[in-house]
Each structure stands twice: as structure tokens, then as C-alpha cells.
Structure 1
């Protein structure tokens, strides 16, 4: 039963617990056993919550007493180690914060707990959540459970690896430019970056640049993502960007009057894309067409006029550098390569900063025009499948590209704040997951989730779970 438990999704686990087919104690213990067995090879878990089993016993007692229970009652979840957890270490991937224990939960953690979920563990991340690889001086490097010689991505790489490896059914990550969707694609799971401000950032660090940061649910099924999103969305009275009331949605969903209109795009606009990734996006487009959507190839002029990654780099550096400088002052000998590189980055000249702001506005205008005609955009998540650790250069169809190119297809949706979801739809010749990305208009999460569910049903991927060498 343990093997069935650790690869069951959160929705199924919640139903099994409600119907008393399994107990919360069995579920939590099965995941703790899984962590003990496979995490030494993966290094996704940095702290196990001391009170997880105690919470599971309390959840079982509530069921026995006939208490009303939430939709995730007794279901374990994990959270990236930049997300505050009351009484549980939150060390942000840095020796500077070693031993830090928050007094309160982040709002996202609190909301999952209020739904009955049990915090199981914290997961690894790059220093200060600032890298596309998960490695740091405090808790080391996380490996991709599909191939330990490859990265699970970053910055929510520990979270993606834990979920893919069956150590957790559901998790919380954060996303500045790529950080839930990229790791999800690297490891073959699902992740959502909702419209900016839909899920409060209260209780996360770094806080800047908040106009690009998002909290996002990560899981192995679309229905788990939809459930978690419904629990997480809505203002909290503290995050000034989280102002849209919950349950407001501009998505069309499925309609008997007309099919959903989906454009699909590989190149140009996102830079060079590996041929296997491009083929997977096209296969997903064909699957949506067979599912009744109106699907056609598109080009988005705004993406070709302004390079979103360059725009992002010019803007975010000016806000992050002061935060990093303040956090590391007096601890210069405890800084990993990532923070060192950020602090050494030249300031953006004011004129270039203004031009970048204007380019960000043009990108938003361009997508606004696109979504007048289409309900969604289908595109790559990453330009390549999971790559080896520590690369400074990516090779895409024989062409060398800087490592930061890994973000080229995800960062446009952070710059514009559009909702975007990553879901696996293929497998590389080397046996690695290949994901595709669905983006919708602002506040149209229902459309993105609906299309993702269509792809999930249409997928013929057979090797759903990695064979972990332990």
C-alpha cells in the first residue's frame, strides 16, 4: 500500500482519508519512509517537520470524532525553503540564515493548513531563490530524479524533484522568471504561475521585485493544481498586489457556442528551441485540435520586437541588488556564486531602465492584442530537456546559447503577469520529460486549467515516474 500511497495524487489521498480507506498517519508515514529511501540520492528535502506525525494523529482523531474536515484533510505537502513555516526551519538556501525559524506561516502555507493539509517538509533551493539550478553552500545540490547527472531546475528545484520522486504529493514554490514552471518541466510534473497578485506573497523572501514574483502550486496532476489554486487565491490584506477578490475569473472555459481558440508558437519570439521540444509543442497543438479546440500557428510581434529576457534583466537587477547587499553585509565569506554574481552585476543606467519599463509595457500591450483573438497560447516551457549540472552554455540544435536562455520562454509571463502553466506532454530520446506551457489572458486561470486537463487526458506518456537509483 505504501507504494500506491506515495504516487497517489493529493485529490485521491484526500478521498481515501475521508472514506477511511487509509489514515492520515499511514499517508504521512508512507511519505516519510519514501523520503528516507530516495532522498539521499536526490537531496530535495532540507528539513522534515518534527510535528508532521503528530499533526497526522490529530487529523485522524478529528475524523474519528466526526468533525467537519477541509478538502485536503490529512494530506501532506511540502514547501520551498524560502516560504516561511512557523516553528520549522526556513533558511533560504544560505548559511547567513542557518537556524532561522519563523514565528508565523506564510499566507500560502496557512491557507493549505486551513484546508487540512499537513506540512511534511521543506525543500531545497538555490541561494536566495536566485538561480535556474538548485545548489547552495548550506544544503548542497539537488539532483533530477530522472537522471542524477542532470538538474531539476531552479529555483523551486527541490520542490519539483520531491514531487516527481514521490516524496510529496503537493508543494508550494515561487516563481520570479521560471521557478515553478521550469523545474516542473525538468522533472515531468505540473505547476501553475497564476496571474500576478492572485496568490499573496506574504511570508516569502526576497520580497523584491514583487511585481515579478509569484507563489505557485506544484503537483503531479492538473486536478491537484486546480484544487490548490482555489485554496490559495485571493487577497490577504497585507500584499498590496493581491487585490483581486477570489473567484473572479475572465476565462471562457468550455463553451457550446464556440471552440476555444488556441494559438501555438515555438519560434520566433522565444529564441532557438530544441527540435524535440518543438515537436512536443506541435503534438500538443494537434491534441488540442482533436479535443475540439480551434488551433493554429501564430506569431506575436511584441515578442519579436522586445526580448523579454533582456527587459527582465535590466529591470530586476536594480531592485534585487540592494536587497542582496543588505542581507549579505558582514557575511561576504558566506555568499555562494549566485549572490556574488548578482552583486557584481553593473547597475542598469537610468535611461536603459526607462527604456526597459517602456518595453515591458509594449509586451503587455502586445499580449492584450493577442488575447483579443485567442483564448490561450501554447508554447515551450524550456528550450531543451533537462541539462547537465553546472552548464554555462546550452547547445540548442547545434547552436551555443548562454545558460540564461533556459528562461526565454517563461520570463515573458512574469514581465507581463499573465497566468501560465507547465505540463509534461512528451519524452526525449534520452528518456527525459518534455513539458509544454499554456498561457492565458489575465485572470483566466480557468481556461488554462481546462486546456491543461485536455492535454493530460490526451497524453500518451508511459513512464510517468522516474526509476530512482538508490
Structure 2
């Protein structure tokens, strides 16, 4: 049974625990055993929570006593090591924060615990969550369980690798430009970045700026992500961007009363895109057409007019540099290369900053126009499947592009605050997962989750897992 437990999703585990078919102690121990068996090759886990088994024993006692329990009672979860966890080290992938132990849980962690979930471990990340690859000077490089020579992505790469390899059924990641959805696509799991502000960022550094940053659930099933989202969303009275509760939902609900209007887009707007990725997006579009959606290829002129990645870079680097500079002053020799490179970037001029802000507004207007006639957009998550470690550029369709091109289909949602979900729908010729991204209008997460459940039910790869 223990080997099976690490393959079950969180929803199933919670049901089994409530029915007394399995104890929380068995579930937690099975995942700890799995970490011991495989993580030496993956390096996804950086700290195991010392009290995980103790919390499992308390959860077991509550079930045996017949107490009312939460929807995730006794189910283990992991959290990216940038998210504060009371009494458990949160080191942010940096020697500068070595041994740091927060006194309080981040809001997202506290909400999962309130639902009965048990913190199992913290997961690897790039320094300060600031790279599309998971590597740092403190806890080293994380590997993709589908191919150890390839990246699981970043910055929630350790989280995605842990879930894909069965070390955790459910996790929390953060997303600044790609960091939940990209790693999910690289490892074949599900990751949700909800509308900006849906889930409070309280307890996640840096406190300022937060306007592009998100925290979101990652799991191996859509129903787990949906359940976690329902527990995580809503104001906490501390994050000024988090103002809308779950009652505010512009979506169509899980059982829409009419066919959903879905546009699909690969190029132009997100290109260049690898042919296998493009074919997977088209296959997902055909699958949605097959279950009754009104599907058509589309173009979004705003994506062709303004470069979302350039907008993001001009705005965000100026805003985040002060926070990074403050904590690293006098300790620059302990910084990872990408953090040093970011701090060395020239400041954006005031005129360029204003132009970037105006371009961001045009991009929001362009998406508002698109969602006036469509319920959702189907597009790539990444331009290529998971790549080898350490690449600085890729060649796609005969064209060399910088590694930052990996952000091209995800960063528009951070600049505009739109919700997006990554779900696997294909496999590359090298046996690697290929994901697609489902995007809806602001506050329409129910539409994203409904379409994701339709794709999950029709997916040709829903039961595939890495061999490790």
C-alpha cells in the first residue's frame, strides 16, 4: 500500500483518511520514504519538517475520535522555500538567509494547515525565486525526474519535481513571470496562477513589490488544484492587493449553461514555438471542440504590438532591485550569478518606465477586448519542452532565441494579472511532458478549472509518470 499512496492525489488521500482506510501516519511515512528513496538524484527537497510525523499522529487521533476534520485532513503538502513556515527553515535559496527560521506561517501555508494538511517539507528554488532554472549556492541544482539532465524549470522547480516524482501530492509555488506554470509544464503536473491578488502574498519575501507576484497551488490533478485554490483564495486583511473573495467569480461555473467560446493561439504573439508544442496546443483545441466548445484560431493584436517580456523587464527590475540590494549589501560574494547580473542591470529611465506602464495598459485593454468575445484562450506554456541544464539560448524553427524567451507565453499574464493554468496534454519525441496553458478573463477561475477538467478527462497522457 505504501508504494501506492505516493501515486494517489490529495483528494483521494483525504477521502481514504476520512473513511479510515488509511491513517495519516501511513500517508506521511510513505512520502518520507519516497523522499529518502529518490531525492538524492532529484534534489527537490531542501528541508524536511521535523514535526511532520507528530502532526500525522495528532491527525490520526482526531479521525479515531470522530472529530470533524477539514477537507485536507492528514494529507501532506510541500511549500517552496521562499514561503514562510513557522518553525521550519525558509532560506530563499541563498547563503545570506542560511538557517533562517520564521516565527509565523505565510497566509497560504496557514490556510492549508487550517484545512488539515500537514507540512511535509520545503522545496528547492533559484536564489530569491529569480530564475527560470532551479539552482543556487546554498542547496544546489534540482533535476527533472523525467530526465535528470534537464531542468524542472524555475522558480518553483523543486516543487514541481517533488510532486511529479511522488514525493508530495500537493504543493505551493510562487509565480513572478512563469514560476508556477513553467515548472508544471516541464514536469507534467498541474499549476494554477489565479488572478493577481486572489491569493494573499503575506509571508513571502520581498514584501514590496508584489504587483506581478502570485502564490499558487501545484498538484497532479485538476481537482486537487481546484480544492487548494478554494482554500487559498480570499483577503487576509494584510495584503493590499488581495481584495476579492471566492464569491467574486466572472467565470461560467463548473457546469456552463452554454458552449464555451475558446480561441487558440500559438504564433504570432508567443512565437517562435517548437512544432511539437504547437501541435500539442492544436490537439488540445480539437479535444475541446470534441466536447462541445466553440473553438477557433485567433490572434490578439495587443500581443503583437507590445512585447510583454520587455514591459515586464523595464518595470520589474527597477522595482525589485532595491529589495535585493538591501539584503545583499556587503555580502555580494555570497550571491548566485543571476542575482548579481540582475543588480548590475542599468536602471530604467523615468521616461522608459512611463512608456512601459502605458504599454502594460494597452496589453490589458487588448485582453479585455479579446475576452469580450471569448471565454478562454488556449496557448503554449513554454516554447519548448524541458531543456538541458544551463542553456543560454535555444534554436526554434531554425532561429536562435535567448533563454528568456521561455517567459514569452507566461509573462503576459503577470503583466496583466490574468489567471492561467498549465496542464500536460502531450509528450515530446524525447519522452518529455508538453503542457498547454488555459487563460480566462480576470476573476474567471471557474472557467479555467472547468476547461482544465475537460482536457484532463480527454488527455492522451493523463496516467503517465516518470520512471524514477
TM range (shorter): over 0.9
TM-score (norm 1): 0.99
User: Aligned residue for 2:262?
Assistant: 262
User: Aligned residue for 2:243?
Assistant: 243
SS at match of 1:177: coil
Once the two structures are TM-superposed, the CA of residue 209 in structure 1 deviates from its matched residue by 2.8
Mapping of 1:425-464 within 5 angstroms?
A: 425-461=425-461, 464=464
SS at match of 2:237: coil
SS at match of 1:216: strand
- Asked if structure 2 preserves the Cα contact closer than 8 Å seen for 1:90 and 1:102, the reply is yes
User: Aligned residue for 2:370?
Assistant: 370
Once the two structures are TM-superposed, the CA of residue 257 in structure 1 deviates from its matched residue by 4.6
1:131 aligns with 2:134: no
Deviations 1:95-135 (A, max 9, x none): 00000000000000000000000000000000000000000
SS at match of 2:11: helix
Mapping of 1:150-161 within 5 angstroms?
A: 150-161=150-161
User: Aligned residue for 2:112?
Assistant: 112
> What is the CA–CA distance in structure 2 between the aligned matches of 1:227 and 1:382, rounded to whole Å?
25
Once the two structures are TM-superposed, the CA of residue 254 in structure 1 deviates from its matched residue by 5.5
Q: Tell me, which stretches of 5 or more residues in structure 2 are unaligned? A: none
User: Aligned residue for 2:341?
Assistant: 341
- Asked if structure 1 preserves the Cα contact closer than 8 Å seen for 2:456 and 2:462, the reply is no
User: Aligned residue for 2:20?
Assistant: 20
1:233 aligns with 2:246: no
Structure 1 residues 210 and 67, CA gap change in structure 2 (3 angstroms): same
Structure 1 residues 302 and 23, CA gap change in structure 2 (3 angstroms): same
SS at match of 1:373: coil
Mapping of 1:212-361 within 5 angstroms?
A: 212-253=212-253, 257-361=257-361
> What is the CA–CA distance in structure 2 between the aligned matches of 1:333 and 1:95, rounded to whole Å?
10
Once the two structures are TM-superposed, the CA of residue 374 in structure 1 deviates from its matched residue by 0.1
User: Aligned residue for 1:142?
Assistant: 142
- Asked if structure 2 preserves the Cα contact closer than 8 Å seen for 1:174 and 1:216, the reply is yes
Once the two structures are TM-superposed, the CA of residue 149 in structure 1 deviates from its matched residue by 0.4
- Asked if structure 2 preserves the Cα contact closer than 8 Å seen for 1:200 and 1:239, the reply is yes
> What is the CA–CA distance in structure 1 between the aligned matches of 2:257 and 2:80, rounded to whole Å?
42
Deviations 1:53-112 (A, max 9, x none): 000000000011111100000000000000000000000000000000000000000000
> What is the CA–CA distance in structure 2 between the aligned matches of 1:446 and 1:4, rounded to whole Å?
31
SS at match of 2:203: coil
Deviations 1:275-326 (A, max 9, x none): 0000000000000000110000000000000010010000000011111100
Mapping of 1:178-217 within 5 angstroms?
A: 178-217=178-217
Once the two structures are TM-superposed, the CA of residue 447 in structure 1 deviates from its matched residue by 0.3
User: Aligned residue for 2:6?
Assistant: 6
SS at match of 2:171: strand
Structure 1 residues 262 and 348, CA gap change in structure 2 (3 angstroms): same
User: Aligned residue for 2:34?
Assistant: 34
> What is the CA–CA distance in structure 1 between the aligned matches of 2:271 and 2:297, rounded to whole Å?
16
Q: Tell me, which stretches of 5 or more residues in structure 1 are unaligned? A: none
Once the two structures are TM-superposed, the CA of residue 248 in structure 1 deviates from its matched residue by 1.6
Once the two structures are TM-superposed, the CA of residue 247 in structure 1 deviates from its matched residue by 2.5
- Asked if structure 2 preserves the Cα contact closer than 8 Å seen for 1:254 and 1:260, the reply is no
Structure 1 residues 255 and 218, CA gap change in structure 2 (3 angstroms): closer
SS at match of 1:353: helix
Structure 1 residues 82 and 255, CA gap change in structure 2 (3 angstroms): closer
SS at match of 1:96: helix
- Asked if structure 2 preserves the Cα contact closer than 8 Å seen for 1:235 and 1:246, the reply is no
Structure 1 residues 204 and 282, CA gap change in structure 2 (3 angstroms): same
> What is the CA–CA distance in structure 2 between the aligned matches of 1:209 and 1:191, rounded to whole Å?
23
Structure 1 residues 81 and 257, CA gap change in structure 2 (3 angstroms): closer
Once the two structures are TM-superposed, the CA of residue 137 in structure 1 deviates from its matched residue by 0.1
Aligned residues: 468
> What is the CA–CA distance in structure 2 between the aligned matches of 1:76 and 1:333, rounded to whole Å?
37
Once the two structures are TM-superposed, the CA of residue 399 in structure 1 deviates from its matched residue by 1.3
Once the two structures are TM-superposed, the CA of residue 208 in structure 1 deviates from its matched residue by 3.5
Once the two structures are TM-superposed, the CA of residue 256 in structure 1 deviates from its matched residue by 6.2
- Asked if structure 2 preserves the Cα contact closer than 8 Å seen for 1:152 and 1:386, the reply is yes
Once the two structures are TM-superposed, the CA of residue 271 in structure 1 deviates from its matched residue by 2.1
- Asked if structure 2 preserves the Cα contact closer than 8 Å seen for 1:131 and 1:154, the reply is yes
Deviations 1:1-53 (A, max 9, x none): 11210010000000000000000000000000000000000000000000000
Structure 1 residues 244 and 254, CA gap change in structure 2 (3 angstroms): closer
Deviations 1:332-351 (A, max 9, x none): 11011011011110111111
